[in-house]
Amino acid sequence: MNFGDHERVELSELCSALVDGTLDTAQRRRLAEMLATSEEARRFYVRAMSLSASLHEYAGEMQAEAPDGVPANERPATAMNWTLGGLAAAAAVVLAFWLGGFLKTERAGDVAASEKDGDESVAQISGAKNCVWRGDAFQPGDELRRGQRIELVSGFAEITFDSGAQVTIEGPALLAVNSEWEAALDRGTLKAIVPAEAVGFHVANPAVDVVEPGTEFSVVADVGGTREVFVTKGGVEVQSPDAAQRDQPGLVLRENQARRFAENGPTEVRDRDQKLERLARKTPLDRLVQPANFTHWSFDEINGAVFPGVAIGVESGDHGAKIRAAADFDFASLRTPGRFLDGVHFDGTVSATASFAGLSARTPRTLAWWAKVREDAPLSEAGAMLAWSGAEIGWNRNPQFGALGALRTKTGRGVMAGTTPLRDGRWHHLAVVLKPGRKPDAMQIRQYVDGRLEGGPMKRGVKKMMARQGSGPEAGAPDVLTMGAAPDGTFFRGDMDELFIADRVLAPQEIRQLMTRNQPLRAEPLAAN
């Protein structure tokens, strides 16, 4: 649909009615129609809902919070809590269905602008078989940057995107890696596997959007511009360029369906069954097996004033996290039902520290854990869940950096905040991937919430914050990981469980493995699940 000034005003009125709770049936249908047929409308809606929620929530927190530096006790709930709940639910609905499209459009430009050196990787070659490349040659393990074009003369190459989508191209093929959420196939054959966490992944020319979890589909493109789309599992929405120009809705294809797109419009694929059978065949690929070393705190037990930690894949050592609390503190009060067995409850007065050699060095790292934050948690309880020299990870308390209550990572380079509110009293699996860039001060951050890639543009921190973080520990000084508090003395209040720290970048499949099975993948970590 054409999204002009008239439609923008109409959508604004519909969003206001939704927030006010006055949206009637006809308006609800109209809102659903606009969101289903216009990507611009979806972006407008996400921004409007996020802004409304942030403004209301921030105003409520300002009313409930004491000035900075004054200890804050429990505050009574404000009268607007029901509004916040409604806004959070509305935002959750739109994010569940449209977040993929929002990220691949909004974030693509913003993050690319922050990575001025063109160093941002968004995918990785995860498998190959008999590959002959034109131009740059790639091997399993090689990273692909945003906007990079690759040409495969012959053979098979598998690409795992940071969103979790996985595509295999068969040469001759020319592919552009546009973002974590989008690839463009100029020619050749592409087969894609899209898990639930990567719904919203997009293949251009023609536009193919995944609309169902666990979707598997293929696109075959020839040099003349003809495209054939096949769905072997799940469902996709396909919109040819001419249909997009006429503002026509896309065509939804489901399992064992196919369409051919040419200048004369979409038609049936005559030899569909034979092609589906060929595309369904599995091709064994050569993969790079990347062993990872983990340190793991399960929080299932407390030995005196220590959370025991274990090493996985490395030599044994002392990985215990020492609890810091008042002399008469009851350590048993830290025990709480966790996501797996027991967890730890940080009450806003205690923290734990563990020596961790090399944690602040400019090396790849992945941190994954479970966290639960109560719905009415005030800003004073937003201390870091995890912190070390030059970095803090927690939930966002500053709307300057993004959505309030979302996962936030601060490094010496700046701040990144996600979009999913964590203050809902539920367990969420969180993962932060840190990857050094080419420049000495560049650090690429990837955030995952419940297995799904999310985040906003990296924003520069204020000078005071940058000065406090410094450039790292003194030479020879041991790195220290702090759980439950930030260096500035603010504490985190909430529950945590099953903290893993890996010494390399974990693939999306590996993060999902930690989330669903609470253990690392033991072999072929980049293989499709």
Which of 54-63, 104-113, 380-389, 423-432 has the lowest average pLDDT?
A: 104-113
Residue-level pLDDT at 244: 57
Distance in angstroms (rounded) separating the CA atoms of residues 292 and 287:
15
The more confident residue out of 440 and 148 is: 148
131 contacts 156 by C-beta, under 8 angstroms: yes
Q: What angle do CA 432, 466, 442 make, to 5 degrees?
A: 50
Name which of 380, 321, 332 is nearest 499 in CA terms: 321
How many CB atoms neighbour CB 134 within 10 A? 12
User: What's the mean per-residue pLDDT of the chain?
Assistant: 79
- Residues whose CB falls within 8 Å of the CB of residue 461, separated by 6 or more in sequence, listed in order: 410, 414, 415, 469
Average pLDDT over residues 28-56: 69
> pTM for the full model?
0.75
Rama region for 5: left / alpha / beta (φ>0; ψ in -120 to 50; rest): alpha
Name which of 326, 332, 328 is nearest 304 in CA terms: 332
Q: What percent of the chain has pLDDT over 90?
A: 51
pLDDT at 88 over 50: no
479 contacts 388 by C-beta, under 8 angstroms: yes
434 contacts 366 by C-beta, under 8 angstroms: yes
Distance in angstroms (rounded) separating the CA atoms of residues 349 and 381:
10
Residue-level pLDDT at 49: 67
Residue-level pLDDT at 500: 97
Residue-level pLDDT at 41: 79
Which of 112-116, 173-177, 249-253, 300-304 has the lowest average pLDDT?
A: 112-116
Residue-level pLDDT at 523: 54
Instruction: DSSP for 61-81, please give it.
Output: HHHHPPPTTS-----PPPTTH
Residue-level pLDDT at 176: 96
How many CB atoms neighbour CB 345 within 10 A? 20
pLDDT digit string (tens) for 292-316?
Answer: 999 999 999 999 899 999 998 866 6
Average pLDDT over residues 473-482: 64
pLDDT band, very low/low/confident/very high, at 193 (cuts 50, 70, 90): very high
The more confident residue out of 346 and 206 is: 346
Distance in angstroms (rounded) separating the CA atoms of residues 529 and 513:
9
Which of 10-14, 15-19, 279-283 has the lowest average pLDDT?
A: 15-19
Average pLDDT over residues 205-217: 84
- Residues whose CB falls within 8 Å of the CB of residue 208, separated by 6 or more in sequence, listed in order: 202, 217, 219, 229, 236, 237, 238
The more confident residue out of 494 and 414 is: 494
Average pLDDT over residues 389-404: 90
Which of 173-182, 250-259, 316-325 has the lowest average pLDDT?
A: 316-325
